[in-house]
Amino acid sequence: MVYGGYMIHQYKLNGYNIVLDVCSGSVHVVDDVAYDIIGLYESHAWEEILSQMAEKHPDVPEGELSECYDQVTALKDAGKLFAPDTFEPMAGQLKRRTSGVVKALCLHVAHTCNLNCAYCFASQGKYHGERAVMSYEVGKRALDFLVEHSGTRKNLEVDFFGGEPLMNFDVVKRLVAYARSIEQEKGKRFRFTLTTNGMLVDDDVIDFANRECHNVVLSLDGRKAIHDACRVDYAGNGSWDRIVPKFQEFVRRRGGKNYYMRGTFTHANPDFLEDIKVMLELGFTELSMEPVVCAEGDPAALTEADLPIVLKQYEDLAKLMIERRREGRPFTFYHYMIDLTGGPCIYKRISGCGSGTEYMAVTPWGDLYPCHQFVGEEAFRLGDIWQGVTNPGKQAEFAACNVYAREACRDCWARLYCSGGCAANAWHATGSVTGVYEYGCKLFRKRMECAIMAEIDRQFHENE
Amino acid sequence: MTHIKTIETRNLCDSAKNGGCGECQTSCQSACKTSCGIANQQCEQKADK
């Protein structure tokens, strides 16, 4: 809903009437009368609103309608309803101000994998290229590159990714030791993340990750039959039975530190809530379930027929979260984590994801790509960790990505919650990094509606 | 009667005044790796306080 520079979004979910004022970030929970008055407020005169409301709500006295109208007006005057979008001139400012600063690297320490997952966007870890592992020397240079280009940033993020990074675990350990050895001298703080399929998890890995990694991402698709249909070894055997006990031990010993049990859902399981329930039954409580990324026409790709099923899963998931929270058995769903008072500032919200500018992926050979999802796409190679960025034209395309660079985002109420979407998804869907992957947008908007509703419910029932 | 309950949120217009330090987490770096979103990220300035 656009009112010439103002934007609100109204929706009803799980018994709540919710009004979002997009540009101020305000969230209002309203009764039916206020819901309807807000919908008419900017486009109709009071007399017209009164006439329509009298017809729709014949039992509500005029005095009460008038009182409600005044409450809407007060919120508008306070900048919490119909706030104008004044942010466009700021778009790109953050990136320009920090041009050349890199603060996060995805280190592809192993372009090889011990699983042969059918839907892997990395082509079983090879990224359309040869199998390879990163040497210590390349990894060390990548860390030095990060420090050298991090400017005044203190927090540096490094993700060990693959393929399967534990196939090069010795190098991972040595790189962490090196990073720790220079942290103090360089005035930096490294936050490491390890993403693993679990096959090589053992006591050594658990101890190391629980000591050194800010976060671990553990790949599990949920139901055994769903998981084993895709996540198979090279002999075609499912991996569920082998990894689940390891993940349970891993998480048990993590002692409350961050982790995500991360699944992928595809055309085979648009009813992914059933997979989330299995994760909960297994004792996992920090969960992430992601729509598959693949080419249109791929048998795994989500279809239009899957869409209503997926959207319903998101709603039911939010209701399950609320139910379990009230029962004292809470769990976290990555996309429903929302901090309405402590979330990102407006610069972050309009700047886009940072791929190709503050965030890059490094191949086993030291080549730089805008992010892990572009690795192997030669046209997107930005440079390498020795010479830095040598393809400034390509980097400029990513630097120009922001909320206002995408026409479709201008009319989207969720733009300040998503910051313009994923460049890789956009490129796969439209051939341009500033395109829009509309299917993903539909899922994102539903997730935000659910996340905000669940947060409202939490606040309303906080003291119960 | 009150028809509207306003939830406490960060005022985005105000955040323009002292925002933009760039210390917060890169959007999809840490968990999902496949979809961008910033709603679930924390402001490092607030986290440090």
**Chain A contact probe: residue of B2, B6, B17, B45 with most A CBs at under 10 A:** B6
Specify whether the CB–CB gap between A7 and A20 falls below 8 A.
no
According to DSSP, the β-strands at A189-196 and A155-162 are parallel
Q: Over 90: is that where the pLDDT of A123 sits?
A: no
| A267-293 residue pLDDT tens | 999 999 999 999 999 999 999 999 988
Specify whether the CB–CB gap between A403 and A91 falls below 8 A.
yes
Number of alpha helices (DSSP H) and beta strands (DSSP E) in chain B: 2, 1
Contact B30 A217 (CB under 8 A): yes
Q: How far A260 CA sits from the closest chain B CA (Å)?
A: 7
Q: Which chain A residues have a beta carbon less than 8 Å from that of B42?
A: 339, 342-344
Q: Does B6 touch chain A (CB under 8 A)?
A: yes
In terms of C-beta density within 10 A (0-12 exposed, 13-18 middle, 19 or more buried), how is residue A332 classed? middle
**Average pLDDT of chain A?**
93
Q: How far B2 CA sits from the closest chain A CA (Å)?
A: 8
| A9-59 residue pLDDT tens | 999 999 999 999 999 999 999 999 999 999 999 999 999 999 999 999 999
- Rounded distance, CA A201 to CA A196, Å? 8
Buried b (16+ CB within 10 A) or exposed e, A428-445: bbeeebbbbbebbbebbb
Q: Where are the alpha helices (DSSP H) in A202-266?
A: 203-212, 224-230, 240-254
Q: What is the pLDDT of residue A2?
A: 44
Count how many residues are written for chain B: 49
Q: Over 80: is that where the pLDDT of A78 sits?
A: yes
- Top mean-pLDDT range of A99-108, A340-349, B26-35: A99-108
Task: Name the 3-class secondary structure at A10.
Answer: strand
Reported as a pLDDT band with limits 50, 70 and 90, residue A352 is confident
A-B Cβ pairs (cutoff 8 Å, strict): 213
Two tokens, residue A126: 């090879």
Q: Could you give the count of Cα atoms lying within 13 Å of A325 in the half-sphere of its Cβ?
A: 20
Contact A337 B40 (CB under 8 A): yes
**Which residues, at least 6 apart from A165, have a Cβ–Cβ distance to it below 8 Å?**
A107, A109, A110, A172, A194, A195, A196
Q: Which chain B residues have a beta carbon less than 8 Å from that of A83?
A: 13
Give the single-character DSSP code of A84.
Answer: B
Of A207, A324, A303, A220, whose CA–CA distance to A257 is shortest? A207
Q: Taking the CA atoms of A109, A112, A115 and A121 in sequence, report the sign of the dihedral they define.
A: positive
Mean pLDDT of B7-11: 89
Q: What is the pLDDT of residue A349?
A: 87
* A440 → chain B, closest CA residue: B35
* A73 → chain B, closest CA residue: B4
Contact A345 B43 (CB under 8 A): yes
Q: What is the pLDDT of residue A414?
A: 94
Q: Does A291 touch chain B (CB under 8 A)?
A: yes
- Rounded distance, CA A108 to CA A420, Å? 26
Q: Does B48 touch chain A (CB under 8 A)?
A: no
Reported as a pLDDT band with limits 50, 70 and 90, residue A5 is confident
- Rounded distance, CA A404 to CA A402, Å? 6
Contact A23 B38 (CB under 8 A): no
Q: Over 90: is that where the pLDDT of B49 sits?
A: no
**Which residues, at least 6 apart from A78, have a Cβ–Cβ distance to it below 8 Å?**
none
**Chain A contact probe: residue of B8, B24, B34 with most A CBs at under 10 A:** B34
Q: Which residue bears the tokens 């910051």?
A: A419
Q: How far B49 CA sits from the closest chain A CA (Å)?
A: 11
Of the two residues A75 and B10, the one the predictor is more confident about is: A75
Decide: pTM greater than 0.90.
yes
- Rounded distance, CA A310 to CA A6, Å? 30
| A376-404 residue pLDDT tens | 999 999 999 999 999 999 999 999 888 88
Q: Over 80: is that where the pLDDT of B33 sits?
A: no
Q: What is the pLDDT of residue B14?
A: 84
| A149-208 residue pLDDT tens | 999 999 999 999 999 999 999 999 999 999 999 999 999 999 999 999 999 999 999 999
Q: Over 90: is that where the pLDDT of A79 sits?
A: yes
Count how many residues are written for chain A: 464
Give B 10-39 residues with CB within 8 A of chain A.
10-13, 15-16, 18-20, 22-39
Question: Measuring CA to CA, how many Å separate A170 from each of A57, A204, A231, B30?
Answer: 70, 11, 25, 22
**Where is average pLDDT lowest: A104-113, A381-390, B33-42?**
B33-42
**Which residues, at least 6 apart from A428, have a Cβ–Cβ distance to it below 8 Å?**
A293, A295, A437
Q: What is the pLDDT of residue B32?
A: 65
* B44 → chain A, closest CA residue: A344
Q: What is the pLDDT of residue A120?
A: 85
Q: What is the pLDDT of residue A374?
A: 93
The string of DSSP codes covering A343-405 is S--HHHHHH---BTTTEEEE-TT-EEESSGGGTT-GGG--EETTTEE--HHHHHHHHT-SGGG
Specify whether the CB–CB gap between A113 and A163 falls below 8 A.
yes
Task: Name the 3-class secondary structure at B2.
Answer: coil
Q: What is the pLDDT of residue A47?
A: 96
- Top mean-pLDDT range of A125-134, A306-315, A410-419: A306-315
Four-CA torsion A329, A335, A336, A337, nearest 10 degrees: 90
